[in-house]
Structure 1
Amino acid sequence: MQWVLAALCLLPPQAEAAAQAPASRAPVIRLASSEWPPYVGKDLSALGASTAVIRAALATAGYQLQVDFFPWRRTIAAAGRDSDFVGYFPEYMSADVAQNCLLSKPIGTGPLGFAERADMPIRWQRLDELSRYTIGVVDGYINTRELDQRVREHQQPVDAAHNDVQNLVKLAAGRVSLAVIDRRVFEYLRRNDPQIRKIASQLRFNSHLLEEKPLFVCFRRDRAGEQARRALNEGLKTIDIAAVMATALR
């Protein structure tokens, strides 16, 4: 990932007043993110399920949340040390992410697997059984540790797309045999994206899941990032994450 998306910062009182309603005095934590419905999206209710979880957790800790949207690679870059943001979401765990980020506690999970063509289902149990197929991935997204390692070692042919929609279009056209995607994202796009709705009958989700992936906020490795992470983690202890996600996903 995918499901690579957000950055956050603590704004001074004058910036806070400009960004929020005058009656509010709660400090603001600002995050960068990228369109990844139903987890995050500027046109979604509550800005998506992951956003709803973060907002609810921060509210219990006395903070407000502001989310700014960018393309995925810009989202990651937005959380740089000199940025107004102090983190991004949602992110998967990887060695590089753990080295570069202060990771929050999980803000939920997402079922990562493969989309496939309905007329060409693929049965598999081990990833090494897929080496004769070309798999569609999204540029900049983390997948699973094993799959990404196989790609790095040139043991698994892949074809990179700019986003999940393009990846699914390539799958339907036969340019790849499988496409890595979160199952909820796949189902959302089949129902709501104009391009994917036209080809929805040609696609299905492979029954063998890659992994149930925890989702995180990646905070900047500095004092502001640590302060924001601490606030979020404290808030996450007080809410029912699964219930908040379920409500937002309805």
Structure 2
Amino acid sequence: MLFLVPAQAATEKKVVLSTLEWPPYTGVKLPDNGRISKLVKDAFNAMGYKVEFKFTPWKRAIRNVRKSKDILGYFPEYYSAARAHEFIFSDTIGYSPIGVLMRVERPVIWDSVADLSKYRIGLVSGYINTDDFDKLVAEGKMNIDYAPSDYSNIKKVIRNRVRGAVVDVNVYNYISLADSNVTKLQAKLTFLNKLLGINKLHVCFKNNEEGQKLNRVLNEGLKKIGHADLNSDRCK
């Protein structure tokens, strides 16, 4: 007996990507898994691909791409020259404004990034921040306290365990509305209307033939759904 496979099932293409809980950009419980997840999914869907997301802690999200033959990329990632040697970076899928969160009554006073060396600063382990800041961290010129998540870093600021924390402003705004413990302290927390920088967000693919192919597919899909404007130079 001959069984016919539906044409759609026979031609379905699938890509598995690794990501993390990083609302409002990505998250299991967010509508469409978050604004950046939706963009990535829409772009691949426009090219005939079905997308599956694997949500894990950030370091594992990257490790999964290195070790798994099925997970071919991860997101959202900031560009870094070091990671560009290992992964293929997609066109821009969004922007991430990064600042130093602090308590109003204990401000972190800084004009240059080097000024931050005077304070104990919270970072998320495994995150890239900005080139200038990360260079000073790598040189051992910063007093750093590492945490597993942005939420942990925000709590450290609230409890005066660190003087400031490097946090994406949109992530902080989301947490400050979603968590009542942070909401009630909003008036006591500030970025002083200053940013360390604005980073472009990307999908990183394995640096092999399949990764190169998926990168081309995603970039074309972004253009197809009208998001080519995201790759402008407005944040340089």
TM-score (norm 2): 0.88
Instruction: Kindly indicate whether the alpha-carbon contact (under 8 Å) linking 2:42 and 2:225 is maintained by their aligned counterparts in 1.
Output: yes
2:52 matched to 1:66?
yes
2:195 matched to 1:236?
no
Q: Distance in 2 between matches of 1:138 and 1:92?
A: 14
Match of 2:189 in 1: 203
* Alpha carbons of structure 1 residues 48 and 68: separation in structure 2 relative to 1, 3 Å: same
The percentage of counterpart residues that share the same residue type is 36
SS where residue 122 of structure 1 aligns?
coil
Instruction: Kindly indicate whether the alpha-carbon contact (under 8 Å) linking 1:81 and 1:220 is maintained by their aligned counterparts in 2.
Output: no
2:26 matched to 1:26?
no
SS where residue 15 of structure 2 aligns?
strand
Q: Distance in 1 between matches of 2:42 and 2:86?
A: 26
> Which of 147, 152, 155 pairs up with 1:169?
155
* Alpha carbons of structure 1 residues 114 and 242: separation in structure 2 relative to 1, 3 Å: farther
> Which of 99, 121, 133 pairs up with 2:107?
121
Q: Distance in 1 between matches of 2:34 and 2:68?
A: 27
* Larger-gyration structure (1/2): 2
What residue identity is the alignment partner of 1:174? N
More strand by share: 2
Match of 1:159 in 2: 145
2:149 matched to 1:145?
no
* Alpha carbons of structure 1 residues 225 and 195: separation in structure 2 relative to 1, 3 Å: farther
Instruction: Kindly indicate whether the alpha-carbon contact (under 8 Å) linking 1:165 and 1:196 is maintained by their aligned counterparts in 2.
Output: no
Instruction: Kindly indicate whether the alpha-carbon contact (under 8 Å) linking 2:113 and 2:196 is maintained by their aligned counterparts in 1.
Output: no
Instruction: Kindly indicate whether the alpha-carbon contact (under 8 Å) linking 2:108 and 2:119 is maintained by their aligned counterparts in 1.
Output: no
Instruction: Kindly indicate whether the alpha-carbon contact (under 8 Å) linking 1:108 and 1:241 is maintained by their aligned counterparts in 2.
Output: no
Q: Distance in 1 between matches of 2:227 and 2:138?
A: 34
* Alpha carbons of structure 1 residues 231 and 133: separation in structure 2 relative to 1, 3 Å: same
What residue identity is the alignment partner of 1:86? L
Q: Deviations over 1:199-225 (max 9, x none)?
A: 434322231111111000010111221
Across the two proteins, how many residue pairs are aligned to each other?
225
Q: Deviations over 1:10-56 (max 9, x none)?
A: xxxx9xx9xxxx87953111111110000000000110011111111
* Alpha carbons of structure 1 residues 126 and 99: separation in structure 2 relative to 1, 3 Å: same
* Alpha carbons of structure 1 residues 75 and 207: separation in structure 2 relative to 1, 3 Å: same
Moved more, 196-205 or 150-159: 196-205
Q: Distance in 2 between matches of 1:150 and 1:101?
A: 24
Q: Residue 229 of structure 1: CA displacement?
A: 0.9
Task: List alignment gaps of at least 5 residues for structure 1.
Answer: 1-13, 245-250
* Alpha carbons of structure 1 residues 45 and 131: separation in structure 2 relative to 1, 3 Å: same
Q: Residue 198 of structure 1: CA displacement?
A: 4.9
